[in-house]
Structures are given as C-alpha cells and as structure tokens.
Structure 1
Amino acid sequence: MTTQLPSTVLIIGATGTIGKYITNAIVSAEPRVGRQISIFTSQATATSPAKQGLLSSWKSKGVSVITGDLNNSDDVRNAYSGVDTVVSCLGRNALASQIELLKLAEESKDVQWFFPSEYGTDIEYDASSKDEKPHQNKLRVREFIRDQVKRVKCTYVVTGPYLDMFLALAPIAEDAGGYDVKSKRAVIVGSGDEKVGFTTMPDVGKLVTAALQHPEVSIGKVLKVQSFVTTPNAILEEFEKQTGTKWTVDHTTNEKLREVEKEKWDANHPIATLYTLRRIWAEGGTLYDKTDNEVLGLTPGDMEPLGAVVKRAVNGEGY
C-alpha cells in the first residue's frame, strides 16, 4: 500500500472510551472507508448487555465482530487475515500490548497500514518529552516501530487533550483543574489565559477517518491535529454564558501543580498521570505553528466548536 485507500479495516479497542468515537466516525464516513470494516473484541465485551446497543448499531451498518483474546497470537493472526489496515484504539493501560500486535502485523501477509493508539498528548513534542512518565509506553511502541517494523506503514494521529475529558473536575484531583456544572465552580491552573490546543472526542474520530481517506498524505506520518486552541478562561466564559450565572473560581498555580504531581508519583498514585498531563498542557505542550488539519482536507469550520462541547457538559451528557 502506497497511496491506495484501505479496503478492509480492522479496529481494535472499538468499544473503549475513545474507540467508540473513532469507530462511529469510520463506520459512518461518506464516502465509505473500505469495503469491509471489522472490530476485534473479547467474548466478554461481545456479550456484555451494556455494549449491545453500540454493537447492534455497527452491525446494522455492515460491521463484522471478531471475538478473541488480544493476548493470544493465534486469535490476532486470525483477525488479521484479509485485513490491510489496522486501527488501534487501545487505552493507556494496554498500550504496551501494541508491540506484539505490530510484530504480528509485520509477520502477516495482509496488513499493510497500522494506526497505533497515539491519540492524545504529543510524546515527542520537545527534548523533555522523553522523560515524562506517562509517555513511556507510547515511546516504547514508537521505538519498536522505528527499529523492527519495516514492511507495515504506520500513521500516528496526535490530537492533544480531549476537551470533553478536560472539562471534568475530578473529586480526587480538584487542584488539577476542571469545571463542575452542578456547583457552578471551576478550578483553573495558572492564570487561565494560557492557550491550550484541544480536540473534542467526536473530532478525534473525524480526524482519524480523514487520515484513512487521505493515504497519500497520511502513510508513514506523524499527524498533529486538533479542533481548536482556546484558554481555560474562555471555557469558563462559555460555561457562564450557557448556564446564565457567574461561577465560583479557584486557581492552582503551576508551582503547586508540579508539587502535587511529584507527591502523587512518589506515592505511586494512579492519578499522578493526570497531574503530569495537565501540567504539560498548561505549559504550552499542545501548541503548534501549524497543524495537519488542512493536509487532511479539514477546515476550522469542519471541527466542533467550543460551545457544542460545553453544551453537552451542561446537559450532563458527558462522554
């Protein structure tokens, strides 16, 4: 595959947090992406009552469901049979397993194009990125691709933070920032005027789909994309506008954020990752002179506006 459109697409992690947005976009794309779309999932997920509505909606659009164990090489080989393009949507806890998935893809006779699960913060933004603890598994995957993957072409879609998740004020990590619609309260890191590049979760799906539809500019590339750039204060203003009231606002200084981040890592607390990512975002680690949206044929008008995401949060729709 050089510039050919994908013919058969396999999605791994399709029903996950970001996977469902990516899968929905691929399945609903016009023009259609490939002649056949399949998802590879566990038997437990395939039979879960909570997943039946989602799976049924995809099946009604011609999606095939392949069940198996992600850690079983034979199951993965069988899933790869006849597939030329693989899109991984695995979550943070499963990122390292992509090394074996890529190894099997390289060994297969069919897989030609692979999208590792790179959606999120840029892990090679600058010289300091290699030392950030949350980046280590993604960095290992990139290193394996550089050193060991020769036949299969890979595309990274780097989206920066998901705005939908950024809005949430976590009760166990309030000083990391967020917005609480119920109490009309916001916690903002820094002054609130620092710019951050965001992608909405539906737009992650739109951007991945655009990359699939434009192999001539996507294959072998690190695509840096986003919905828009805004500030925490602008987000607050949108919440106040939509709720018709002034909110209570607290601030966390960048110094305090770094202090708590260190405390959480020293305590081996899983929430430490959140503090690191929020610190990276607050310090400008999502900003680019130019993104690759236009290369993929997408204009600012094609992306979701801030107001749409805030409206979902105000309505309690979440993600």
Structure 2
Amino acid sequence: MPANILIIGATGVIGTPITAQVVSAKSSFGRIAILTSKNTVSSKAEVIKSLKEKGVEVLLGDLEVEADVKKAYENIDTVVSCVGRGAIEKQIQLIKWASETPNVKHFFPSEYGTDIEHNPSSVNEKPHQLKLKVRAYAKTIPKDKLHLTYLVTGPYSDLYMGKTGKEEIGTFDVKAKRAVLLGDGNGPVSFTAMADVGKLIVACIQQPSASEDKILIVNSFTATPNEILAEFEKQTNAKWEVSYTSLEKLKEVEKQAWEAGAPYATHATLRRIWTEGGTLYSKPRDNGLVGEPPMESLADQVRQVIAAQTRS
C-alpha cells in the first residue's frame, strides 16, 4: 500500500527540501500532510498556499499538545520529523504518541546531520545532547509498536559552502572571492546536499523493509576544503583570496564562543568535529541499501551556491 505521510517541521531549513522531494514523488504515495501552527500559516502564507496547490494537506496544531498530534496521526502510517534544534527534545513525546497510535508504523526522527554516535567522544559533544536523549528514549520503544529510521547525512553542503557570520569558523564568499578554510584544507568531509536528504527520505519510504529499524549513514559526496575552493575558482574563473583557521585555533574559537554564549557556538563545535574527521567511516555509505538514488556532485553544489550568493 502507498504510504500516507505526515511531515512535521515542513517549512523549516531542512523540512523545506525534504517536503519538496516528497511532493515530487507524490505519485508513489497516498496522502501527504503537514502538521504546522497557525503562526506558520500566517507568516509563511505563500509557502502554505503553494503546498496546498500541490495537493498537500495542511493540518493545524501544536506539536506539544497530545490531542493535536494524535489527530494529525489519524490515517497516517509514516511520520517524517524535520524539527529544528529548538524542538529536538519534543520528539520524545512525538515518538511516544506515534507508538500509541496503531496505524503509525514508521517514524523518521529529525537527526539528519552529524553522527551523534560516530566515536566514543561523541557522547560528550554539546550539540548532540538532546539528540542523544531522543535516541535513548526511542530505544525503549518495542519494534512491534513503531519502526524508526535514522538518516545520518553529515553536514549539508549547501550551508557549509555558504557565507558565515563568523569567518573564523569557515566561509566561502562568492562576491568577495574570499574563503576561510578549516584545518590545513586537506581534510576530507562527507557532505549531503539538502535536496538529497529529501531524495534519500523518499527512497527510504518507498523501500521500508530496507530502512526500518536502521541507522543509515548516507552522503552526496566527499571533498576537502581545498577541493571545494578549487571548484569555486574554476566556476568563477578567478583566483580567490584564501586563509586558514587551524584546528587548534578553531578549538579556541569554539571554547570562547561557548563561554560567551555566542549564537555560533554550536556551529563552531560541529565544524571542529567535521574538521577532525567526524564524518568519515571505513565502511561504504548506505545509499545502496535504498536503491542508490542519484545525488548531487560537488560541482552541482558550488554552481547553486554561486547562483544564490549572486542573487542576494
């Protein structure tokens, strides 16, 4: 039977591309619905209108209210959570309520991004704490009550290759033709384009037996900061100004950011993790388990970043 899908956090940073890919594959599915707030319907009226025009059902409710969530779960078998960091812990209740709703069979927690169980030190990383709480709770749910799939993507290449408010933690500025690279620039990082996160979610839903009760490690491509810079220079036909933030300096910036309560502290930690090799594995990626959907390349992503920064 085609999946009936509910997306929570559908208009957010990662929810938007995931929802777009699910909608693009709507012929494979039954219902596609989103659970959102009245405030979002008002503040993102054009986005909501576009989704409705594409056949998406818009359900209003508060994800902290059990009655609202369980009503949204009616006649749904697959829930895709795309909530942001501010709502990560709220997924414990979402998972609990899903496990209590017999028709809901499959839940995707919003755990796209950095692997929170990459190595023994991962448990101590500040940005991972709420995701670790959610995963610990999820392990208590019997598999006959609810299947969970974790899609671990590594950093989103779209964002890594953009401009940052704090250049010391890395930046690629197209208009200024300037880049700040992390480490010595030669450390490979595994990336997933945000659109590809959506494609991989679609592939998982279409092949539930291949993805249920699994932690899938996926990506679009792997590249070093120097390789990314070379692609920017190639596509802009210009030599860029480049500087480097060493790993030791990055650790210092990270420490100072947390001490000062700076808004970029989480990003500094994540970028330090990636620079240390926290996206790399000795085993092949799991894209093949869900049919090896076509992924974007480094060149594709650089082309899109150039276009986006040129428009802004």
* Matched ranges for 1:199-210 at <5 A: 199-210=192-203
Q: 2:163 aligns with which of 155, 166, 169?
A: 169
Tell me the secondary structure at the aligned position of residue 179 of structure 2. Answer: strand
Q: CA deviation at 1:113?
A: 0.7
Provide structure 1 residue ranges, at least 5 long, that are not aligned to the other structure.
none
* Matched ranges for 1:137-286 at <5 A: 137-148=130-141, 150=143, 151-171=145-165, 173-286=166-279
Tell me the secondary structure at the aligned position of residue 308 of structure 2. Answer: coil
- Corresponding residue of 1:134: 127
Provide structure 2 residue ranges, at least 5 long, that are not aligned to the other structure.
none
Q: CA deviation at 1:6?
A: 5.1
- Corresponding residue of 1:80: 73
Tell me the secondary structure at the aligned position of residue 181 of structure 2. Answer: strand
* Contact preservation (8 Å) 2:150, 2:216: yes
Q: 2:301 aligns with which of 298, 303, 309?
A: 309
* Contact preservation (8 Å) 2:3, 2:205: no
Q: CA deviation at 1:162?
A: 0.1
* Contact preservation (8 Å) 1:41, 1:67: yes
Q: CA deviation at 1:244?
A: 1.0
Pair 1:33–1:141, CA change in 2 (3 A): farther
1-structure distance, mates of 2:9, 2:262? 25
Structure 2 counterpart of 1:257, one-letter code: L
Tell me the secondary structure at the aligned position of residue 139 of structure 2. Answer: helix
* Matched ranges for 1:10-159 at <5 A: 10-29=6-25, 32-48=27-43, 51-148=44-141, 150=143, 151-159=145-153
Identity %: 51
Count, aligned residues:
309
Q: Is 2:286 the partner of 1:292?
A: yes
Q: Deviations over 1:227-263 (max 9, x none)?
A: 0111111110111111111000011010010111111
Q: CA deviation at 1:54?
A: 2.6
Tell me the secondary structure at the aligned position of residue 7 of structure 2. Answer: strand
* Contact preservation (8 Å) 1:103, 1:149: no
Structure 2 counterpart of 1:67, one-letter code: L
Tell me the secondary structure at the aligned position of residue 228 of structure 2. Answer: helix
* Contact preservation (8 Å) 1:22, 1:208: yes
2-structure distance, mates of 1:260, 1:203? 31
2-structure distance, mates of 1:52, 1:311? 29
2-structure distance, mates of 1:101, 1:295? 27
* Contact preservation (8 Å) 1:177, 1:187: yes
* Contact preservation (8 Å) 1:8, 1:37: yes
1-structure distance, mates of 2:141, 2:29? 27
Q: CA deviation at 1:205?
A: 0.6
Structure 1 counterpart of 2:157, one-letter code: L
1-structure distance, mates of 2:278, 2:252? 19
